[in-house]
Amino acid sequence: MQTKNIRHLSREEISAELTSLGEPAFRAKQIWQWLWEKNASGFEEMSNLPKGLRDKLAENFSIFKITIQSKQVSSDGTIKLGFTLYDGEIVEGVLIPADDRMTACISSQVGCSLSCSFCATASLPRKRNLYFDEIYDQVAIINKIALEHYSKKLSNIVFMGMGEPLLNYSNVIKGIERITADDGLGMAPKRITVSTAGIAKMIHKLADDDVKFNLALSLHAATDEKRDKIMAINETNNLAALKEALIYFHDKTGTRITLEYVMLSGYNDMKEDVVELVKFCRNVPSKVNLIEYNPIENGLFKKSSGNALHRFKDYLEDNHIIANIRRSRGEDIDAACGQLANKELAKAELADSLAQSK
Ligand code: SAH
């Protein structure tokens, strides 16, 4: 019989479980602290609980922590981690160190159901949503790695790994609740950014839920004609619907939106494209991140030249739009945006099957 995931219980539910095990309910507070503040992997670590209680808990519950399956360090210091989930599925997370910040890039789904033509994760089928404790674990583990490697805590978290966070809404919200809670990891919501390919209805929901974290939209083209071709999701969530949703989000939350724009040579990096981008930005309180395209296997696109990037940025700035150029990191280990595709796992599986066929 599989035991229950204790982290899926609320504090009140843990109290009730303790009562039915004939244990005092006040222990729930200690257990909660071990689970969410001290990030325990097993009941045996819960040193302020009597041994008998620890044994009972271990008989009845599991913690289902995610574990590190692989770790690669890039020449630029970026660290990519493969995480094994309780059912053997793998997702990836990345630590991106910089002088002024330590950023964790984390995943929200195993694979992805969207099929953006420039993204490596699109080649993986969406297998399932991550549970909120699996989202929390990625942050807790990457924070530990940041301390070990760089003696610095995480300062920022971006949901820019595998998956579409707004198609796993409740787990993402609950995960962020545990990551930001005082009796959790205690990180500031303003240091967290959820990136979406653009699901208008869910952007409305974020606004109605009055979330305190930041929102980024993967825009990448500012006409429906061009966006339809690279992001199939645009067919059901077009630019007019997204613009309306972003304005609603800003009105409700007061938070300025980040627009991500991957620069694809000869596709969306020309004068006519930036003219359209400026039009889209009108009435959307936003800033634009121009992202260097990271080549993917069998990719159709090439990255834009440095000149094209700077021309784009200058034009935006001339039109009073804040624009930043984001260079890719960790490219040598396929850790950069859009490159997360469980390549290490694929390699290991290939090696396994070759070994078996010998
Ligand atoms: N599904 C979410 C989060 C994952 S993608 C979303 O679409 O926003 C995180 C960011 O990486 C997005 O802006 C995405 O468009 C970008 N990205 C995807 N593939 C890329 C590539 N090959 N090079 C650079 N950025 C890429």
Write out the two tokens for 190.
Answer: 């303003």
Taking the CA atoms of 316, 318, 319 and 324 in sequence, report the sign of the dihedral they define.
Answer: positive
Cβ–ligand 1 distance for 118 under 6 Å, the answer yes
Q: What is the mean pLDDT of the chain?
A: 94
- DSSP, collapsed to helix, strand or coil, labels residue 159 as strand
Whether the pLDDT of residue 340 is over 90: the answer is no
42-65, pLDDT tens digit by residue? 999 999 999 999 999 999 999 999
What pLDDT was estimated at residue 354? 55
- DSSP, collapsed to helix, strand or coil, labels residue 218 as strand
Interval between CA 110 and ligand 1 midpoint (Å): 15
What pLDDT was estimated at residue 346? 62
94: how many CB neighbours lie within 10 A of its CB? 28
CA of 114, closest atom in ligand 1? 1
Partners of 102 in the beta sheet? 97
Whether the pLDDT of residue 77 is over 90: the answer is yes
Whether the pLDDT of residue 26 is over 70: the answer is yes
Can 225 be counted among the known catalytic residues? no
Q: Whose CA is nearest to atom 17 of ligand 1?
A: 338
Cβ–ligand 1 distance for 105 under 6 Å, the answer no
Taking the CA atoms of 273, 275, 278 and 283 in sequence, report the sign of the dihedral they define.
Answer: negative
Q: Whose CA is nearest to atom 25 of ligand 1?
A: 337
Can you tell me the distance from the alpha carbon of 302 to that of 324, in angstroms, rounded to the nearest whole number?
20
Average pLDDT over residues 108-136: 95
Can 92 be counted among the known catalytic residues? yes
What pLDDT was estimated at residue 355? 59
Cβ–ligand 1 distance for 294 under 6 Å, the answer yes
CA of 260, closest atom in ligand 1? 13
User: What is the CATH architecture assignment of 67-350?
Assistant: Alpha-Beta Barrel (3.20)
Average pLDDT over residues 144-169: 97
Using alpha carbons, select from 83, 133, 161, 137 the residue that is nearest to residue 334: 161
What pLDDT was estimated at residue 358? 47
241-268, pLDDT tens digit by residue? 999 999 999 999 999 999 999 999 999 9
User: What is the CATH architecture assignment of 4-62?
Assistant: Orthogonal Bundle (1.10)
Whether the pLDDT of residue 350 is over 90: the answer is no
Cβ–ligand 1 distance for 164 under 6 Å, the answer yes
Can you tell me the distance from the alpha carbon of 68 to that of 282, in angstroms, rounded to the nearest whole number?
44
Whether the pLDDT of residue 357 is over 90: the answer is no
What pLDDT was estimated at residue 344? 63
Domain spans of the chain, in order of start: 4-62, 67-350
What pLDDT was estimated at residue 276? 98
Write out the two tokens for 170.
Answer: 């409740």
Whether the pLDDT of residue 347 is over 70: the answer is no
- Residue of 17, 23, 92, 134 marked catalytic: 92
Lowest-pLDDT range of 63-67, 123-127, 165-169, 186-190: 123-127
Cβ–ligand 1 distance for 341 under 6 Å, the answer no
pLDDT band at 20 (very low <50, low <70, confident <90, very high): very high
pLDDT band at 189 (very low <50, low <70, confident <90, very high): very high
**Residue 264 phi, psi dihedral angles, 5° rounding:** -110, 120
Distances (CA, A) of 33 to 179, 181, 186: 13, 12, 12
Average pLDDT over residues 219-230: 98
Distances (CA, A) of 87 to 7, 67, 84, 127, 318: 16, 11, 8, 11, 52
Indicate the pTM of the whole model: 0.94
CA of 162, closest atom in ligand 1? 4
Average pLDDT over residues 86-105: 96
Interval between CA 329 and ligand 1 midpoint (Å): 13
20: how many CB neighbours lie within 10 A of its CB? 9
Average pLDDT over residues 66-95: 96
Can you tell me the distance from the alpha carbon of 258 to that of 272, in angstroms, rounded to the nearest whole number?
21
Cβ–ligand 1 distance for 160 under 6 Å, the answer yes
